[in-house]
Amino acid sequence: MKITIVGYKKEERFSQGVANDEDTELINFLISKRLDVVPTIWNDNNIDWRNFDVAVIKSPWDYHNHLSEFLNWLDHIESLGVKVLNPVEIIKWNSDKHYLKDIAEKGLPVIPSEYMEKGSSFDSHFFDLFEADKLVVKPCVSAGAQNTITVSRTNFEERSLEINELLKEQDYMVQPFAEEIKNGEWSFLFFNGKYSHCSLKTPKQGDFRVQHYHGGSISYPTPDPVHIEQAGSYLKSLPQSTLYARVDGVIINQSFYLMELELIEPYLFLNGDINLLENYYQGLVALIS
């Protein structure tokens, strides 16, 4: 069985601050387990995807800038009989942040979200709707905090002009700013639905973005077992099993609240750890056997 680990044409800004080349470490580990694995780039037109039995969508970190092309490519390789992990339908659903509404409607704790359609205008009623003095506005299709903006009642006039320009291009979502993000965003990692490990991403002083390339820091504390169980509940709501899932959120009043369910291209914080790589391997083998 021939397997490809699918990535993207690398940009330094995405890997800045990351000590490990996670994809290379993962591929080398899987090869050591006697799996026939090679890396590919999702939009490399020189690749004959019929050569592969399984395509693991690992790190297409630019997909959100080429969404239609990316989704068409997924349909194409699936039509060739390639098994895609995570499943194509799951990836399509997860590619637009309207999915958070679906999860909230199932009764699971999610940071409250409202949506603005492309071409609409941002107005101040969201402050009253959420009973909040500060909001976060982000694209429905994005990654890495791209075009994510914080808005307060005091800078509303200035920020609304910027947001209305962005709304000319695509749909956006609005959430109350979760002050708990200053304590860090938890990421719980699951492979084939089984909990593996977690990380805590903390923004730099004066910022809210936790990504390492925005100056955020990463630590690996021991999580409360209750929060592990709560994070796992989001995966149980999915219609199909996933090879990998990163459940990102914050702790509010001792309970976990979802910010993002990462099912397309999350960094997995494997850090070359043999035990964590083994967890990934076991999840992969279970799904392709």
Per mean pLDDT, which of 3-17, 24-38, 139-153 is the most reliable?
Answer: 24-38
Q: In 3D, which of 264, 234, 248, 106 has the Cα closest to residue 189?
A: 248
Q: What is the pLDDT of residues 228-265, one digit of tens each?
A: 999 999 999 999 999 999 999 999 999 999 999 999 99
16 pLDDT above the threshold of 80: no
Distances (CA, A) of 86 to 23, 70, 102, 117, 287: 16, 14, 19, 28, 10
Cis-peptide, bond into residue 253, ω within 30° of zero: no
Could you tell me if 189 and 243 lie in one domain?
Answer: yes
| Measured CA angle at 4 (ends 24, 242), to 5 deg | 95
Could you tell me if 190 and 59 lie in one domain?
Answer: no
How many structural domains does the chain have?
Answer: 3
- Residue 142, pLDDT score: 85
Lowest mean pLDDT among 144-153, 209-218, 267-276: 209-218
pTM over 0.85: yes
Q: What is the pLDDT of residues 23-56, one digit of tens each?
A: 999 999 999 999 999 999 999 999 999 999 999 9
Could you tell me if 36 and 67 lie in one domain?
Answer: yes
Q: Is residue 29 part of a domain?
A: yes
Could you tell me if 195 and 103 lie in one domain?
Answer: yes
| Measured CA angle at 75 (ends 74, 80), to 5 deg | 100
Distances (CA, A) of 184 to 59, 126, 210, 238, 253: 23, 25, 7, 26, 14
Could you tell me if 119 and 78 lie in one domain?
Answer: no
Q: What is the pLDDT of residues 107-133, one digit of tens each?
A: 999 999 999 999 999 999 999 999 999
Record the tokens describing residue 1, joined without a space.
Answer: 């069985």
97 pLDDT above the threshold of 60: yes
Mark which of 144, 161, 177 sits at the end of a domain. Answer: 177
19 pLDDT above the threshold of 60: no
pLDDT band, residue 208 (cuts 50/70/90): low
- Residue 146, pLDDT score: 79
Q: Please, are residues 247 and 190 in contact by the beta-carbon 8 Å criterion?
A: yes
Distances (CA, A) of 115 to 98, 121, 174, 211: 8, 11, 6, 24
Half-sphere exposure of 119 (CA within 13 A, CB side): 0
Q: Is residue 208 part of a domain?
A: yes
Could you tell me if 63 and 146 lie in one domain?
Answer: no
Could you tell me if 26 and 151 lie in one domain?
Answer: no
Q: Is residue 136 part of a domain?
A: yes
Q: Is residue 22 part of a domain?
A: yes
- Residue 143, pLDDT score: 77
145 pLDDT above the threshold of 80: no
Could you tell me if 152 and 259 lie in one domain?
Answer: no
Lowest mean pLDDT among 6-20, 136-150, 234-248: 6-20
Could you tell me if 103 and 192 lie in one domain?
Answer: yes
Q: Is residue 165 part of a domain?
A: yes
The DSSP secondary-structure symbol of 133 reads: S
Could you tell me if 103 and 89 lie in one domain?
Answer: no
Could you tell me if 44 and 87 lie in one domain?
Answer: yes
Q: Is residue 58 part of a domain?
A: yes
Q: Is residue 273 part of a domain?
A: no
- Residue 182, pLDDT score: 87
Place of tokens 């990102």: 248
CATH number of the domain that 246 lies in?
3.30.470.20
The pairing of beta strand 36-41 with beta strand 2-7: parallel
Q: Is residue 279 part of a domain?
A: no
2 pLDDT above the threshold of 90: yes
**How high is the mean pLDDT of the chain?**
92
Range of the domain at 42: 2-94
- Residue 13, pLDDT score: 47
Cα 136 from Cα 188, distance rounded (Å) = 23
Record the tokens describing residue 197, joined without a space.
Answer: 């490990």
Half-sphere exposure of 134 (CA within 13 A, CB side): 8
Mark which of 155, 177, 199 sits at the end of a domain. Answer: 177
Q: Please, are residues 143 and 61 in contact by the beta-carbon 8 Å criterion?
A: yes
Could you tell me if 103 and 120 lie in one domain?
Answer: no
CATH number of the domain that 84 lies in?
3.40.50.20
CATH number of the domain that 133 lies in?
3.30.1490
Element (H, E) at 72: helix 67-79
